Chain A
Amino acid sequence: MSQEPSKVGRRNFLNYLVAVVATGVVVGVGTYLAIPKESIEKTVTTTVRETFTKTVTQTVTQTSSPTTTITPDSWWADASKKYAGTTIRVLTESVPPSLILQKYVPEFEKLTGIKVEFEATYYDDVYAKEMADFAAHTAIYDVLYVEIEWLGAYAGAGYLFPVEDMIKEHPELTDPNLDLQDFVALDERKYKNKLYTLPYETFGYLYYYRKDLFEKYASDFKKEYGRDLQVPKTMEEYEDIAKFFTGREPNLYGHLAQAKTHNALVCDWQNFHCMFGSPDYEKNFIDPNKMRSSGVVNSSWAVEALEYYIKLLKYAPPGALTYTWDEAGAAMQEGLIAQGPFWGDWALSMFDPSVSKVVDKIGFAAFPRLSKNPEAKTMNGCASGWGINADSKHKEAAWLFAQWTKRKGFDAIWMKDAGVLGRKSSVNDPLVQEVNRKFGNLFTALLDASKYYYFPLRIKEYSEMKTAAEEPLGLAVNGKLSAKEALDMLATRWDEILKRSYP
């Protein structure tokens, strides 16, 4: 499903450049006349090349799209004057997007005088620390990484100060070019139609495959299966490829799974569950009329889906039963996997020679679908956001920091290193497009895959429901329960949770 980027000739390029400059001049003059003089000083319209100096890593040249309006540093400095000297604490997950962002934090501190204590830790720990902070009302953290599956619980419990309220109450602290509609999957950050978090990163599962192995074994595959070895469009094709590659070389497997009794297993299972279910994915988990799961998650198609998930495990490394995303990512980097579904935020790490043995060998695409159910969603989407702790005493400084990390112009610089989606306008940025070309069409695949993303339910019970699913599924993949028995147990557990809120 990957697309070749269109080529632009020199003549066309010059034409575009002239058009861009002319448009910029017109927009600039228009803006100058339309906006009061003092606010013009705060806004810079980028019609020409703008050079950003990355104080920590390197200097890069970035061309923003002609219509991108970037808030100048002076605005951030002015807005934060009142809060200079304040210390805020940020808690996030220690994955590449956050670790890359961390490098830029000193720039914010220098610009605003707000001190930032940036803490990145592993996924489960983020959740535990945030919950402990909320429960004790200690307000240790001001800016919080809010994973979409926690949003319902946090917002439902009143643990977050809604971003929407912050915008209303503090227009003077809100980036004039915040442009919320520019964020990918904005609605996924809403709870009961209210925006609670500022979109931080959006990604989801992708289909990872080894380009080198696909080339190397193209003729062998054709001999055996009578068709070309290419990125599978259907699960039937996927299964053939999985079977073909498993054992083809020592320690080579045709499928990747994260089947430890852990949240990772639930994410993996949900892909297959939704693959067999309705394209209206929320109905695959709960009957909206009864607000119960029985008869839905344990229906015959659901049992078939779990059985299929378990069946494919024979093509995955034996260790897959102990894998979460960390081990699965390491297996991919080690070169054990020829193809498989995996989280997109790990994509760029496959090109890092310090951790990966498959540099330049990986390609990405959307995950295949069942030929009998082509419209179904097949990939778990992750839409996390920056939340502001409702107990925080530094909400304003926290809000400034959150916006600064997602400001126009910078987002593309971050995105090209982070390998996840931020703003829609950043996708076409030359920097991002260059990374796309260089690294297996990653962003094209992400956008393509996003059509088949499903997102966690935004109900306050979801977080508990997901945890309660770990054990039944764990027992099923380890052969202690049949798929039907496991799903019956899961349905009973989910109903018990739902009963509390919907008696």
Chain B
Amino acid sequence: MRKSEGRPWIWLLPSFFLLILVGIIPFFILLYLSFSDYFLLYPDIPRVFVGFKNFKNLVFDPWTYNALQTTFTFVGIALPLEMLIGLGLALLFSRPFKGITLLRTIMLIPLVIAPLVTGLIWNQMFNPDFGIVTYLLHSLGLFLNSGPTIDPSTALFSVAVVDIWRWTPFVMLIILSGILALPKEPFEAARIDGASRWQIFKNITLPLIRYPLTVAFLLRFMEAFKIFDEIWIITGGGPGDATRVVSIHNYKIAFYRWDLGYGSAIALFLEYITIILCAAFYKILQKSE
């Protein structure tokens, strides 16, 4: 055995150093700031420890409450649809047919586009005056003198459509990799026993792909819960506060009002709520097994 192979921690050092630098240290700074009064616009106001003041403000701030409600609604619309469509597409692409490689590649295009660019593209398509989506809706007699992103009742659903368009291929990819790795024997045995397609799917495929499904669900939940880029570009959180999800609320507090104390408290709260919900989902899924 070579000498260096006996010290694996040496090889871990670069990643460990990076983790400390971009993860651990910023987290403790965030923690410190969330218990302080810190306004970047007013450096003359001393940066003092204020205990739970920022968290107390958070609980009684109707804007934060509204933003959380909007975020849950957004996740509630986008996530189930992404999972369902992703599963359907994964099943479709799990069987060989002519042109499958080309189609699969095309399906992945939304994933490789930067979120900012996605936002810009859809912003133009939703443009109430000359956007293609608005034009098509107008020709169907819908949203006349309006547009899907400027009507407060449909704006959130519109940005959820963008999220579904962008992330469904990701869900499909994870589930597809799970399906393609499944053993063939249980399926052959089921077919010999005369099981229908639905029975095979319900009793064999679905239980066997529960892990990729769980991974896709949790990853998408975490991402959808902190969505920012697309909504920021398309609606900026409007009209009014119709699409003001909690990340946009947080950004406005921290980088528009430069209230870094309160902004940090919201960020920390967002972090914990994501962790707690993910842990809860994981437990539920484990129990259901």
Residues of A within 8 A of B (CB): 128, 131, 134-135, 153, 156-158, 251, 260-262, 317-319, 321-322, 327, 331, 334, 336, 460-461, 463-464, 467-468, 471, 474-475, 477-480, 500-501
Is A334 within 8 A of B239, CB to CB? Answer: no
Is A262 within 8 A of B41, CB to CB? Answer: no
Q: How many inter-chain residue pairs (CB < 8 Å) link A and B?
A: 91
- Report B200 CB to chain A, min CB distance, Å: 48
Q: Give chain A residues whose Cβ lies under 8 Å from the Cβ of B78.
A: none
Known pairs A158-B43, A318-B147, A464-B257 / 20 extra A-B pairs, C-beta < 8 Å: A131-B40, A134-B40, A156-B42, A157-B42, A260-B236, A261-B237, A317-B128, A318-B128, A318-B150, A321-B128, A322-B128, A322-B147, A322-B235, A322-B238, A463-B41, A464-B258, A475-B240, A475-B241, A477-B239, A479-B152
Q: How far is the CA of A358 from the CA of B45 in the complex (A)?
A: 51
Considering the complex, give the chain A residue whose CB is closest to the CB of B259.
A464
3 cross-chain pairs, A with B, having the tightest CB-CB distances, nearest first: A319-B128, A478-B240, A261-B238
Q: Give chain A residues whose Cβ lies under 8 Å from the Cβ of B257.
A: 464, 467-468
Flag B133-158 by CB within 8 Å of A: 1 or 0 each: 00000000000011101101000000
Contact of B256 among A318, A331, A467 (CB under 8 A): A467
Given A260-B236, A331-B129, A475-B241, does the pair A460, B42 have CB atoms closer than 8 Å?
Answer: yes
- Report B42 CB to chain A, min CB distance, Å: 7
Q: Give chain A residues whose Cβ lies under 8 Å from the Cβ of B240.
A: 261, 474-475, 477-480
Is B129 within 8 A of A251, CB to CB? Answer: yes
Is A467 within 8 A of B252, CB to CB? Answer: yes
Contact of B255 among A128, A262, A464 (CB under 8 A): A128
Considering the complex, give the chain B residue whose CB is closest to the CB of A331.
B129
Q: How many residues of B contact A (CB 8 A)?
A: 30
Is A131 within 8 A of B150, CB to CB? Answer: no
Q: How far is the CA of A327 from the CA of B130 in the complex (A)?
A: 11
Q: Give chain B residues whose Cβ lies under 8 Å from the Cβ of A331.
A: 129
Q: Tell yes or no: B174 within 8 A of A by CB.
A: no
Q: Give chain B residues whose Cβ lies under 8 Å from the Cβ of A156.
A: 42, 44
Q: Give chain B residues whose Cβ lies under 8 Å from the Cβ of A157.
A: 41-44
Is B255 within 8 A of A478, CB to CB? Answer: no
Is A471 within 8 A of B128, CB to CB? Answer: no
- Report A88 CB to chain B, min CB distance, Å: 24
Q: How far is the CA of A471 from the CA of B129 in the complex (A)?
A: 24
Q: How far is the CA of A298 from the CA of B238 in the complex (A)?
A: 23
Q: List 23 A-B contacts (CB under 8 A).
A: A134-B40, A156-B44, A157-B42, A157-B43, A251-B129, A260-B236, A261-B236, A261-B237, A261-B240, A262-B238, A318-B128, A319-B129, A322-B235, A322-B238, A334-B129, A464-B41, A468-B257, A474-B238, A474-B241, A477-B239, A478-B240, A480-B152, A501-B42
Q: Give chain A residues whose Cβ lies under 8 Å from the Cβ of B252.
A: 467
Q: Give chain B residues whose Cβ lies under 8 Å from the Cβ of A327.
A: 127
Q: Give chain B residues whose Cβ lies under 8 Å from the Cβ of A474.
A: 238-241
Q: How far is the CA of A157 from the CA of B44 in the complex (A)?
A: 7
Is A478 within 8 A of B127, CB to CB? Answer: no
Contact of A131 among B235, B238, B258 (CB under 8 A): B258
Considering the complex, give the chain B residue whose CB is closest to the CB of A327.
B127
Q: Give chain A residues whose Cβ lies under 8 Å from the Cβ of B43.
A: 157-158
- Report B116 CB to chain A, min CB distance, Å: 12
Is B258 within 8 A of A321, CB to CB? Answer: no
Flag B231-268 by CB within 8 Å of A: 1 or 0 each: 00001111111100000000010011110000000000
